[in-house]
Amino acid sequence: MNWGWHRDNPGYSAGYTDGREVAREDRMRGKPFNENPRGKYDHRDHGYIREYGDKNDYRARYTEGYRAGYEASFGYR
């Protein structure tokens, strides 16, 4: 299945959720803004299953969603 660049893409959705969570944790701990996936999200494949297609495409959408979710939750959007 080709999920494309849509915001309903499973990689984007997973990344957005994870980015929001990390941003909330960063704010609570007084950490600086850092929209890059890191720690347990460093591989950018959280939530991936083979049915989603190419893993590199999933990772790219995950990163896009993570950054958007992080920015929205940290307060930069």
Per-residue pLDDT tens digits for 16-47? 999 999 999 999 999 999 999 999 999 999 99
Residues 22, 41: Cα–Cα separation, whole Å? 10
pLDDT over 80 at 6, yes or no: no
Domain ranges for the chain: 10-74
Give the Cα separation of 63 and 56 in Å (integer).
11
Q: What's the pLDDT band for 7 if we cut at 50, 70, 90? A: low
Q: What span, in angstroms and rounded, lies between the C-alpha atoms of 77 and 71? A: 6
